[in-house]
């Protein structure tokens, strides 16, 4: 299968290039394709004629979206809309990656694909708008919601916590719960999805749930970091964007797309970090 990957220089785009090695890949970073420009999207689609487009490009500044909502909507709604329009015109499938932030975080059990969306932040609203555009404009679509991405590539929570490990102590929010997801596991799951599943909306995230505090403590344990980690409340770290208090994801769809437990992802990430440090 010929697959065009947008946002190929980011952490998910990088992992997809490894997970999709058996396919004919066209990995394009922002410099090669700005998905917010419809003419550019159409030109690239016509030039490469892929069987599938995977959109790994996004505006990911959750707090920045509160003061720059137009930028968030351009990256997270207009860009996916352009991809949906251009692919639908050529009868090409599109896979769009969305977020747990489309939910309000008031649930008491993991969110499934069939739960009602109700984003509480500008970022979440922009991601939901992107979903809706893709769903409406190209029936050959996969929409995949994921959460709390981390890896050894780019900027993410796990790398930030490693950068803080030389402090006397680290204080981490313990009353927000989500599904930590190791990006290479997600990329492998997406590779299985396009081979085995029908078009539709899917949840794909690290199995189980954890708080940011639990994620940090587990990462430090695997890395042998002795820095004390102390739990604190969300109110102790006010941020511009409201985060869902509980956004653990689960799937009622194809079991073939289930990802490993989030703890396995943390262990794999720690091994990769240690390997990179030795290398």
Nearest CA-CA partner of 74 in 101, 38, 22, 118: 38
| Residue 123 designated active-site | yes
Residue with tokens 């992992």: 15
DSSP the chain: -EEEEESTTSHHHHHHHHHTTTSEEEEE-TTT--TT-HHHHHHHHHHH--SEEEE------TTHHHH-HHHHHIIIIIHHHHHHHHHHHTT-EEEEEEEGGGS-S--SS-B-TTSPP---SHHHHHHHHHHHHHHHH-SSEEEEEE-SEE-SSSS-HHHHHHHTTTSS-EEEE-S-EE--EEHHHHHHHHHHHHHH--SEEEE---BS-EEHHHHHHHHHHHHT----EEEE-GGGS--SSPPPSB--B--SS-GGGPPPBHHHHHHHHHHHHHHHHH-
Q: 73, 101, 111, 123: which is the annotated catalytic residue?
A: 123
- List the catalytic residues: 123
């Amino acid at each position: 299968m010929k697959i065009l990957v947008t946002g190929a220089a980011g952490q998910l785009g990088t992992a997809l290039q490894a997970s999709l090695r058996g396919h004919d890949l066209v990995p394009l970073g922002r410099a090669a394709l700005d998905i917010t420009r419809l003419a550019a999207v159409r030109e690239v689609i016509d030039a490469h004629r892929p069987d599938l487009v995977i959109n790994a490009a996004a505006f990911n500044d959750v707090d920045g979206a509160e003061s720059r909502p137009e930028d968030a909507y351009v990256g997270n709604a207009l860009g996916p809309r352009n991809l949906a329009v251009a692919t639908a015109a050529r009868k090409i499938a599109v896979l769009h990656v969305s977020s747990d932030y489309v939910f309000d975080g008031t649930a008491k059990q993991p969110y499934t694909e069939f739960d009602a969306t109700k984003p509480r932040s500008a970022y979440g609203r922009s991601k939901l708008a992107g979903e809706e555009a893709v769903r409406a404009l190209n029936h050959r679509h996969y929409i995949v919601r994921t959460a709390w991405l981390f890896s050894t590539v780019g900027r993410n929570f796990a790398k930030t916590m490693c950068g803080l490990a030389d402090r006397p102590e680290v204080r981490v929010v313990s009353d927000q719960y989500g599904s930590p997801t190791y990006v290479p596991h997600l990329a492998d799951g997406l590779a299985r999805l396009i081979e085995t599943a029908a078009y539709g909306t899917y949840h794909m995230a690290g199995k189980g749930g954890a708080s940011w505090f639990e994620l940090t403590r587990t990462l430090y344990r695997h890395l042998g970091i002795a820095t004390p980690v102390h739990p604190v409340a969300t109110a102790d770290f006010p941020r511009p964007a409201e985060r869902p208090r509980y956004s653990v994801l689960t799937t009622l769809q194809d079991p073939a797309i289930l990802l490993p437990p989030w703890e396995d992802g943390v262990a794999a990430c720690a091994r990769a970090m240690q390997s990179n440090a030795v290398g």
